Structure formats: C-alpha cells, structure tokens
Amino acid sequence: MDVSGGNGQPGSGSDEPAGHRQGPATPSPSPGPGNPDPGREPDHDTHATDASDSADGAAPAPPRQAPQDPAPGDTPGHDHRTLAHTPATGDKNGPGPGKGEPPQPPAEPGGGILMGRPFGVPVYVAPSWFLVAALITWVFGGQLDQVLPELGAARYLVSLFFAVAFYASVLVHELAHTVAALRFKLPVRRIQLQFFGGVSEIEKEAETPGREFVLAFVGPLLSLILAGLFWLAMKPVEPGTVPGVLLAGLMISNLIVAIFNLLPGLPLDGGRMLRAVVWKITGKPMTGTVAAAWVGRALALTVLIGLPLLNHSRFFGGDADLGSMDTLTDALLAAILAAIIWTGAGNSLRMARLREHLPELSARTLTRRAVPVETDTPLSEALRRANAAGARALVVVDPDGTPLSLVRESAIVGVPEHRRPWVAVSGLAQDITDGMRVSAELSGEELLDTLRAAPATEYLVVEETGEIYGVLSAADVEKAFVKAMARPS
C-alpha cells in the first residue's frame, strides 16, 4: 500500500555555515532547546495477496534512540529557555512521555511463527492464519460432503490439506513479488501469511514505472500459472475423486486470486500496475498514486454493494432471498473486503505524501549548533558558553580540537544547578562511535537509514572536510518525521 506522509518544518541554528564550525556561533536571543535559534526549530512496500492483494512500499521508520542510563540527581525540568533547564523528554511539565518524547518505531517484525527464509527473507505465519484455515476447513468440508459423502469425517482432513495447499499457492504468489524486488535490489523485510492472504513487505519503492509494473504483475502472473498447472494436472485424474476435487478447488482459488488482484485499484496489484501506467504517462509517481488510490476506493464501494447482489443474482443461480443466512454471510465478507481495500488505498495516499516530502528531512537543516569544550570544562562554564553563543549542544574535544564525545542533553537536565560548577562535561558525555558521525549532506531515507543503523540520542554532524557542523538530536528527527507523516501533499 503505497502510503505517503507530509513534511516536517525542520530547524537548525543559524544558516551561516561558520556558526556550525568548531568555534562558538553568533549569539542569538533566548537560545536553547526551549527556544532554538530563529528559523531553526524542528517543527516504515508491502505486497498483500488475498482477496485484497496489495503491493506497497513500507513506510520508512524513524530512527530508534539508544537507551539512556539515568543521570544522577534527575529532577523534573522547567520551561526555561536555556540549554541548562530544558527537559530531555516529555512536555513542558517535565520529563516523561509527552509531546516532547519522540515516538519509538516498532521493533523489527516478527509477525507469528517463523516458517523459513527462502531467498534470505523470513516467512511468518500469523496467528490469524489458523482462524482462516479452520474456516476454510469447515466450509470446504461441507462442500465435500455433497460431492463425496462416503468420506465421512475424513472430509475435514482433506479440507485441511486444501487450506494448507491454498496458502502454499499464496506463498508462491508472494515469493514472485519478493524475487522481483530482490532482482531490482529492493530489500524485503519479511513475508507474512495472515487472515486474508499474504503480505510481502518491500522496504523501498521501485525507481521506474516499468519496474513498478513488473513488480506488481509477477504476483497475479504466478497465480495464473498455478491455476493453469492445476488444470493440466486435472486432465489425467478421474473427476469426482479426492485428487480431482482438490485440484479443481486449487485451480479455481488461484484463478480467483489472480483475477481479483488484477483489478485496477490500490492496494491491489492491479492498482500498482495502474499507478505505474499513470506515472509513465505523467512523469509523476504521486499523480499515479492518487489516481490508483481513488480507483481503489471506488472499487471498495463496488465490492461492498455489488458482491452480495451478484452472489444472489440469477447470474450465479442465486435465489435472491435477501433475508437468508447466506446473504448475511456474503454481506459480511463484502464489508471486510471493502474495508481492507478502502484502508489500503488511504494508506497508499498517506505513504505517497510522506515519500514526496521525505527529502526535506535534511541533516543540515535539523542540526543543532554546537559549542566545543574540553574534557575538564565545568558544566556551568560549558552551558554559559553555549547560551552566549546561541548553541544547543556541547561537543567534547581534545586540545587539538578533535571531537571525542557528545554531552547528553538528558544528563545535563539531571545535574542540579548548584552542582554544575563541580561537574566536568566529560562525565556527562557519550563517546563518539563511527556510527554516530553523520554527514551534513544526508537527507530523506538515506538519513533515516543511517540513524537506524546506529541508534543513539545524539549524533555528530560533520562536513565533508571533517569539520564539526553541529549535533543532530534523534528527537528532532523523529519530531520532523511525525510532522512529515501528517503534512498534506
């Protein structure tokens, strides 16, 4: 479901590059995290296969902060406009969960029982699969009782085999998406078999409309091929036998999956194909997403209203009894399918908005101005220099000016004001590792991927020459990311 968000209003310090170098920056009024410099306030494709198959880009996850050790003497912060008194997390009433606390991204997906790793991609069976497997077993067992009454209770074993075989076909459908994605060098997070089919979570979008079309089309194509293979396998099998009934059921189910997923609306594969066509014609992926998403919403309404009427029309030999239990079951199924399609189309629009504005998340614009201080500098003196320079971060350097560590904002808050003249900044700092050095030129998904690879609360931002540009707070990035999710296109 190709979802998109909006954009954050990033902030950094002064726009003057020299203000981010190793020397103190130009003073600005009321500096500090509570009141950053003017103009610098910072304001995770899935392919689902089922009756509502979808092919989407997974939303880029915001960076995860590394856990922090509690600082000694931790006391609630105050809403003062200086670096010394701003709470590290929480709202203006003090530390703790609140508006100022950046949301944590979900943990790396598990999603059920791990079944294997074909092509290196984990395949999970969600708990909801067992519910639908039981439902298929019950329904198909009832049909078998009419065709092969001599089976007796054994018909449910045959039905269970059918449910497993059908979901094996769904897995083949998903593996087609996965292999195509890997062929285009698009990372696949996982495949999950769930209540209404399967999902291939592809982490990035295809770079061209042609690749997008191929990526979406291979799933239904494999389902059509499977339907054809089951049809060929039926030829030498005697009709009215267990193998004959199973092969017929698998042929029909794969044919339905293929046809349904070729319908031209997001989040179905056909919607992705429509998106690729509009993208090719207009040259704008966002235009393709909008068109395919609205077609998807129209499709959802069509399914909601049309499917129950079609099932009970004379076209299918129905009796048009709108008060029967079968009619209520069909209406419930149609409502579930319509809800999945409608929600998927909406998510596709949201993700498209996010990806449209994601490049505006820039390390250079989100970076806080930093003041370099030596290891034995008292915290009170370091804060005086930072506030005088309009800076919002402290970088501990050696006598040659080489950065050694970053003073954690949460640790500053935890030191009572009367103790700050006797606390050296080195005792509140976190050593800079290779993963905590971030280029000032990073932006968009590249920036998020870099931060996710090395979770931390602060990062040292450097120029290509190696000079200090400033300090990037993960909280600022996540705040901008959340606003990007909410900002309209």
Give the model's confidence band at 105: pLDDT under 50 very low, under 70 low, under 90 confident, else very high: very low
* Backbone φ, ψ for residue 404 (5° rounding): -110, -40
pLDDT winner (highest mean) among 79-93, 141-155, 417-431, 438-452 = 417-431
Q: Tell me the two tokens of residue 418.
A: 């009367």
> Does the structure show a pLDDT above 80 at 62?
no
Q: Where are the beta strands (DSSP E) in 178-293?
A: 188-194, 197-202
Paired sense of beta strands 123-125 and 113-116, if any: antiparallel
> Is the pLDDT confidence value at 4 over 80?
no
Q: Where are the alpha helices (DSSP H) in 184-284?
A: 209-234, 242-261, 269-282
Q: Is 396 helix (H, G, I), strand (E, B) or coil?
A: strand
193, two tokens? 């078999």
How far is 230 from 248, CA to CA, in rounded Å? 7
Cα 274 versus chain centre, distance = 22
> Among 122, 60, 143, which Cα is nearest to 443's?
60
If you write DSSP's letter for every residue of 299-339 in order, what string do you get? HHHHHHHHHHHHHTSGGGT----TTSHHHHHHHHHHHHHHH
315 DSSP assignment: G
**Token digits for 201?**
């979570």
Q: What pLDDT, on the 0 to 100 scale, is given for residue 98?
A: 38
Q: Which amino acid is at 419?
A: R
pLDDT at residue 221 greater than cutoff 90: yes
End-to-end CA distance of the chain: 17
* Max Cα distance, the chain (Å): 91
CA–CA gap between residue 460 and residue 395 (Å, rounded): 8
DSSP H helical segments within 324-413, as ranges?
325-357, 363-366, 379-389, 409-413
pLDDT average, residue stretch 81-95: 36
Q: By the 8 A CB rule, do 199 and 46 touch?
A: yes
Per-residue pLDDT tens digits for 336-352: 888 889 988 888 888 77
Across-strand partners of 199?
48, 192
Q: How far apart are CA 187 and CA 189, in angstroms?
A: 6
Torsion of CA 160, 163, 164, 168, to 10 degrees: 170
- What is the DSSP-derived secondary structure letter of residue 424? B
pLDDT per position as a tens digit, 427-458: 999 999 988 999 999 988 788 888 888 889 99
How many Å apart are CA 78 and CA 80, to the nearest integer? 6
Say what the pLDDT of residue 487 is.
Answer: 66
Q: What's the pLDDT at 194?
A: 86
- Rounded to whole angstroms, how far apart are CA atoms 57 and 206? 9
Tokens standing for 10? 């990033």
Residue 374's pLDDT is 94
**Does the pTM of the predicted model rise above 0.75?**
no
Lowest-pLDDT range of 308-312, 322-326, 484-488: 322-326
Give the pLDDT of residue 64.
54
Segment among 168-182, 245-259, 302-316, 415-429 with least mean pLDDT = 302-316
Q: Between 481 and 200, whose confidence is greater?
A: 200
Mean confidence (pLDDT) of the chain: 77
Q: Does the structure show a pLDDT above 90 at 310?
A: no
Residue from 304, 397, 395, 300 nearest 344 by CA: 300
b/e 48-57 (16+ beta carbons within 10 angstroms → b): bbbbbbbbbb
Q: What is the pLDDT of residues 376-426, one digit of tens each?
A: 999 999 999 999 999 999 999 999 889 999 999 889 999 999 999 999 999
Determine the average pLDDT of the residues in 226-249.
Answer: 93
> Which of 73, 120, 37 lies closest to 419, judged by CA?
73
> Does residue 229 register a pLDDT over 90?
yes
> Average of pLDDT values for 117-132?
92
User: Which strands, in side-by-side order, build the sheet including 468-473?
Assistant: 437-439, 458-462, 468-473
